[in-house]
A and B are shown apart, each in its own frame.
Chain A
Amino acid sequence: RKEVEQDPGPFNVPEGATVAFNCTYSNSASQSFFWYRQDCRKEPKLLMSVYSSGNEDGRFTAQLNRASQYISLLIRDSKLSDSATYLCVVNGRNTPLVFGKGTRLSVIA
């Protein structure tokens, strides 16, 4: 089983739609979690950290389920500019960040 698994997509959604991505991780000792965004031919950039209680940043909501070892990202009211690859990232104590392969999102006008 891969350490971090994501549905590669692509997810093709119309503007204004709500879309959700899930990510599962295998290491139960993982302690911190992130969602990164990567635009075509650009470096990844942090979208948001994921906290145990769940957190929201504008149209974006991240959730963590430790018991089931999955993380989710919800995007509401999708914009064309949300089109990108979304990377799930998991970290343990004194270990390198582990990236999922990413989920591609295309928002269509």
Chain B
Amino acid sequence: GAGVSQSPSNKVTEKGKDVELRCDPISGHTALYWYRQSLGQGLEFLIYFQGNSAPDKSGLPSDRFSAERTGGSVSTLTIQRTQQEDSAVYLCASSQWDRGLMNTEAFFGQGTRLTVV
């Protein structure tokens, strides 16, 4: 499809296990974002990739969280030794740059609902 694709859509994991969440951005979009959203809360910024620049990791809550973006396209968010407080919906979004190096509209995937039991 033409939209942002995330997988899996739902993930239930045991506390202490590692999980990998995948995001396929819209083809040609140079910017990719990861956010998470707990029930009834706002979006929490995690990490931002823009082209070949070093990613902005300032939102990652701990060193258990990491993300990669291979070939400027697909991204994987990895959470090691999951904790119950990691339970949330993890949203990926992508956007383009305009000529002024500004990010245009961000398109979101449908998210991965992570439940740590």
- Distance to closest chain B CB from A76 (angstroms): 23
Q: Is A98 touching B111 in the complex (CB atoms < 8 A)?
A: no
A100→B37 CA distance, assembly (Å) = 12
Q: Is B42 touching A99 in the complex (CB atoms < 8 A)?
A: yes
Q: Is B100 touching A99 in the complex (CB atoms < 8 A)?
A: no
Bin chain B's interface residue count: 20 to 34
* Number of chain A residues close to chain B: CB under 8 A: 22
Q: Is A46 touching B48 in the complex (CB atoms < 8 A)?
A: no
Judge whether A34 is part of the interface by a CB distance below 8 angstroms: yes
Which chain A residues have a beta carbon within 8 Å of chain B's beta carbons?
31-32, 34, 42-46, 49, 87, 89, 91, 93-102
Which chain B residues have a beta carbon within 8 Å of chain A's beta carbons?
31, 33, 35, 41-43, 45, 48, 50, 53, 56, 91, 93, 95, 100-111
